[in-house]
Structure 1
Amino acid sequence: FDFIFDDQALATEIKALIGRLQIPFLKAAIADKSFFSNEQHPARTFLNTLAKAGSQWSGGQGVSDPLYRLIRETIFKVLNDFDLDAALFTKLSNEVDDFISRQEGQRQRIDERLQEVEQGKVLAEQTRRIVMVALQERIGERELPAIAVELIKTGWQQVLYLTCLREGSGSDHWQRQLKVLDVLVWSVLPKKDDVAKGKLAELGPKLLVSLRKGLESIGFDGSDGQRLLDGLAKLHGELLEPEMAAEAPRQMARIVEPEPEIAADSETDSDNSVEELPIDHPTLKKVNTMKSGQWIEIGQGEGSKRLRLAANVRHGTKLVFINARGIREAEYSGMALAQAVEAGEIRVVDGSPLFDRALESVIGDLRRIREQGATA
């Protein structure tokens, strides 16, 4: 019980309740010599079940919380009713298990929905980045005729996004849509010789057909799409016959605007930077492989709170935590969570059986005492 009182996996209030079990457990150990050798002893199972339930409670939930009340009432049943019959421990363990199982069932449904939503968000963000990289590689900050920029930004960018999202960046369809983008960009650049003009005269109509099909596939507004395609066709005509162009200079625009230069504040950057952990760091590996249901504790003392991992998206890309009521409260990348654990700001709650850990601690202490006596 000294180990239990020092155990960080349990809140102080839960330790105080479990501490009341010292006398009943002493009686159980005296009455049954298999208490320490039998891992399945009802009293040991009961303590492990209580500790598992208690590890999910923090002081911030208050003593009126149903879980706290259940633990308190269960312990008082032992204090009032235990008469050396270990069957009481089995009965109470089952009651606590049933309560936890009902809660876990509700949480699992929340986990599944949240996991699906977060997977979708991460996939959407990754797809958006793939599209932006494709645009950056082909266009960058280069100025193009405004009609082409509008067509790409309002229409073809979405075609690329949905194609990549549905079929992936390795699909033939994605490559074909990128090829359309390449031809579109080339088609609006000045044509300085007859060879280039001849190629535009040949490819221009085919390009318009491909663009129309792509825009229609995403449900792009018909009238707006027609306006953009008409504008592009007009631009092609002007490039083929420069004398057709209006006297006013052609309006130009950019797909990606250049980012403003920001003076670096080396002192501020140094203060705010947190050194990333190596990819093979044990803590980083641990958090990246966390399973739904793992509890963490944020902060210490009365202001601490315990949250449960509801979704681990793509091996630590995003870890989403909910409170005991199923409300989303925090999210971290694997790296950010590992850094917080290393800094002592967050603690991963140990969910291994409490009695087993306590017994291992006692055995370890006895072994050290014996070794010290042997060397004295």
Structure 2
Amino acid sequence: MPEIDLKSFVKRTGGNVSSPMPLGGSFAGGPGSASMGMGAAAPHQGGRGGFNAPPGSFAPAAIGVGMGRGSSGMGGSGVTGADATGGSPLVIARQRAQGVLLNLKRFVTARIGGDITQPRVPGAGGFGEGAMGGGAGGGVGGGVGGAGMGAAAGAPAFAAAIADAEAAYQMMASRYVVGDEATALHQTAAELRRRTSELKRKAPTTADKATVEIVALMFQAILAEERIPFSARVWFARLQMPVLRVAIAEPEFFGTLQHPARMLIDRMGSCVMGFDAAAISGSALEGEIRRVVQVIEQYPETGQRVFKLVFDEFVVFLNKYLTQSDSTQRVMSVAQQVEQKETMAIQYTIELRKMLNDMPVREEIREFLFKVWAEVLAIAALRYGGQDEQTVTLKRAASDLVWAASAKPNRNDRTRVIQDLPKLLQRLRQGMSLLGIVGDPQEAHIKTIGATLSDAFLSKTESIPPAQIEAMAKRLANLEDFVTDEGATDLPLDAASIELLLGVDAASIEVVPDTGTKVGEDMLAWAHDLQVGTWFMLDHNDRVNQVQFVWRSERKQLHLFASSDGRSFLIQVGRLASYLQAGLLVPAEEETLTVRATREALAKLDANPERLLN
């Protein structure tokens, strides 16, 4: 395992690891802050996904959001659709997920007392043992010399107890035998429950007790998640103590969906839940999860920084891991070049229009340059390079054609056109062949161009000045310097262009291009926010496939989904947004792993509130 220098991140606090901050975090604002009023918590178990719900009812699990349509109770608002709140499914789902955290805050606040979102000063009272009973100062926060000082004195022992529990579980987990999963899971759950009870007895404050219980219940839910392969669940379970340490020191863990610890667990969970045990066991993905957990265990005092570090590393790994197969690499290469070629063709067309804007160029020549030659230049630049001799020759052909098709009142100019015409037509044929225009279609273009050139000989209109033609040629020679991404949002895409580009057999590639259907900006935003590694159910051409999102092109126009049977779906962003809107592409998981774990923990606490502090 590579060494990672995190010593600069370590922030020592004189042994007082247990922060006086209570759980719950701040909901006053910032990312993930809750603004909607949620009812009291009520037991509810979220659905597990499927195709029985109406369109738009699935929450985007890939970006850390919650339940689908119609859920209520803890974190649910009873909303029946986007129209009921005026928000998009993306916004509603985020609200529901944040509602789970809000209800957790309310539940704990009601049982601990006081404003748990406010920091407590060490040694100045707080929610320590006996504080709820009044103590020396009476009431919540009383007992400056009793509960407060007792909490401060007990913090080092509590931190040591967490470290001991973590070391003991690591030792126990190292003895698991593959093939005896049921026994191992039972032993793991029992051991974690026993350690939780010990930690609650040693917790110096009621807030710490509550934190221990909530984190334990969350990891019980994760450990019981059968869709996570056993070999991965073992490593997920080892994160309980590191997460507990972070939750105590950084109460925003319970207040925001964007905490790095949550994001890491959710991202790993969304990835592994689509694989079967055989695919995960011994794989590079399992090895990366193991490395991530071990790095976190090595740096217990760095808080969320180490979670953020390994989260970023896991995302980088995932992008490589999911695209490592030869077939996926081939599809990616083709798709990326298609996007580049189509984008360049659009931009070249824009530049050609600018160049010809003030020139007296016949409509037939304009149409040929805009619809045919712009694509020829794009594919030549992509295949050979923008400044390659072949590409430069094709660029020059565009300016030569414009000049040849302009009026020729001068006899010398007409003689020059006659002499240069065979070479010009040869370059035009070469360019069209590069684009795949051969046979009769090519001859039709040549015939139109020939007729236009003949008319130019008889025209008495003013010719285009040579200086203007030369300026156009110079601009064409450096065309790449003038193009931008502006306006290149609608890209033509079909299987034929993919086959043409690299000669790849597209039988295993299902190309799903845009159809021109208008979709809302919220749906496009949802499409752009999908996270690599997330699993979906895709209903395409009346066939349902479980697919994993494995790649997004550089300009975010093309999205690649891979199925377990080797088929790939290359979906353009507009069509992707349409499928999300119509419910033809739905996340396999309705809510993220930590949101579901929090919901299940809250359901148990709501049914048995005494266990929070007992």
Q: State TM-score, norm by structure 1.
A: 0.49
Instruction: Report which of the two has the higher share of helix.
Output: 1
Q: State TM-score, norm by structure 2.
A: 0.33
